[in-house]
Amino acid sequence: MNLHLENLPRTISVHWAVDNLADAANGDAARAGCGGVSCGDAVVDAGVPAVPQVAMIDQRALPSELVEIRTSDWRQVVDAVKTLAVRGAPAIGVAGAAAVMLAAYELAERGAPAASTAAALFAVRLREAARVIAEARPTAVNLSWGVNRAIQVAAGALKAGKTPRQTAEALRELTGDLIVEDEAINRAVGAHGAAPLAPIAAAKERPLTILTHCNAGSLATAFYGTALGVVYAAAEQGLVERVYADETRPVGQGARLTVWELSRAGVPATLICDNMAASLMAAGRIDAVVVGADRIAANGDAANKIGTLGVAVLAHHFGVPFYVAAPESTRDNACATGADIPIEERDAAEVLAHPIEGVEVFNPAFDVTPAALITAIITEKGVWHPGS
């Protein structure tokens, strides 16, 4: 299978605001700036220091439109996370660090009456912003992981005597590093995940049909994806015939994002409604399930998009292997079991667009699959069998 990963957009990137000015002058508002990771040195124009912008693919507009949000305001990044413009555990981890970076630039510009108090005040205010950013969504531990990475870098820079502005620069470097790191991790997850699929395909003497739920693809990460990273790595080895994507009610990440991404990447995809997976498995049409995760407890219980648990129960019933693919940053040993994982409840309007008097809506965004139903958890470090 010929993959076309070059057709997939970079989910999140960092640019200098001056790129936009140059682009506007050239009449090219859509130019991709410095490409996200290596922006070079800050450009100072007439004494005004450049402020970076964070660019995020607006996933609410897909598949109709491929547009990005660009902002230098950390509050807008928080809003993008809350409204699912940027979503998926690893992607919101990077967005969290990027938001702390923007807060740092804003606070550095604001300054303080005396240089001696500037750094202390900056540190306090940055932590306040970091708390707000980390609370944007509760379930994916990657968000607070990304925010904590940023806070650690800021603390280290300030301890080393850096100014707030220099600290903000260090956070810009961190954000670029996290974007590069995330792709490398996902490619390692993909390679590890393809390994257990190879003997299944060999036993069946044909490439496999894989079911996935939600979008744990390139769009849910900086690039490449976790569950779909496994698909891409396996496809490159000729192990994949087709991916079945659950629609993923109520927000439709499968219907709007996964099949869009797969078709752009050149992987044959079939969209099904969530309630069709059982009959497909009963008919022997699914060889393996691969999903992502938002938080994995110490015992291997894994939280992922609502509906994943149902797929896992079905897979267990029909003897279909069920894999969870995620970076190590999704593991949270502070949660002993899945019962400790906070589950986000979202707005009723996602389920019921037009309220009906007297009808309540319950809209948990995630559920927890017990380790016993998971054939293996795949991370960048390798394959883990929590249930055995």
Ligand X SMILES: CSC[C@@H](O)[C@@H](O)C(=O)COP(=O)(O)O
Q: Any idea which residues carry the catalytic annotation? A: 294
C-alpha to C-alpha distance for 388 and 70, rounded to whole angstroms: 46
Contacting residues for 364 by C-beta, under 8 A, at least 6 apart: 306, 343, 344, 345, 346
137 is in an annotated binding site: yes
> Over the range 293-331, which residues count as b (16 or more CB within 10 Å of their CB) and which as e?
bbbbbebbbbbbbbbbbbbbebbbeeebbbbbbbbebbb
Length of the chain: 388
Binding mask 290-309 for ligand X (x = CB under 6 A): --xxx---------xx----
How far from the centroid of its chain's Cα atoms is residue 161's Cα?
Answer: 33
| Of residues 198-217, those binding ligand X (CB under 6 A) | 214, 216
- Residue 352 CB, nearest distance to ligand X (Å)? 18
Binding mask 219-258 for ligand X (x = CB under 6 A): -xx----x--------------------------x-----
- Residue 210 CB, nearest distance to ligand X (Å)? 15
Residue range at the interface with ligand X (CB under 6 A); choices 84-92, 101-109, 311-319, 352-360: 84-92
288 is in an annotated binding site: no
Residue range at the interface with ligand X (CB under 6 A); choices 41-49, 109-117, 238-246, 286-294: 286-294
Of the two residues 52 and 307, which places its CB atom closer to ligand X in the complex? 307
7 is in an annotated binding site: no
Exposed, middle or buried, 242 (CB in 10 Å: 0-12/13-18/19+)? middle
Half-sphere exposure of 268 (CA within 13 A, CB side): 10
> Kindly report the CA angle at 170 between 167 and 171, in degrees rounded to 5?
90
**Phi, psi of 81, rounded to the nearest 5 degrees:** -70, -45
- Residue 224 CB, nearest distance to ligand X (Å)? 10
- Residue 87 as a binder of ligand X (CB under 6 A): the answer is yes
Amino acid at 212: T
Residue range at the interface with ligand X (CB under 6 A); choices 26-34, 62-70, 161-169, 287-295: 287-295
Residue range at the interface with ligand X (CB under 6 A); choices 3-11, 42-50, 277-285, 289-297: 289-297
> Kindly report the CA angle at 13 between 10 and 17, in degrees rounded to 5?
135
- Residue 90 as a binder of ligand X (CB under 6 A): the answer is yes
Binding mask 350-379 for ligand X (x = CB under 6 A): ---------------x--------------
Least Cα distance to 144 among 156, 155, 132 occurs for 132
Of the two residues 71 and 221, which places its CB atom closer to ligand X in the complex? 221
Size of the site for ligand X (CB under 6 A): 18
C-alpha to C-alpha distance for 278 and 115, rounded to whole angstroms: 65
Of the two residues 292 and 321, which places its CB atom closer to ligand X in the complex? 292
Quick check: helix, strand or coil at residue 9?
coil
- Contacts to ligand X by CB under 6 A: 84, 87-90, 140, 214, 216, 220-221, 226, 253, 292-294, 304-305, 365
Which amino acids are annotated as binding site for substrate, given as ranges? 87-89, 137, 253, 304-305
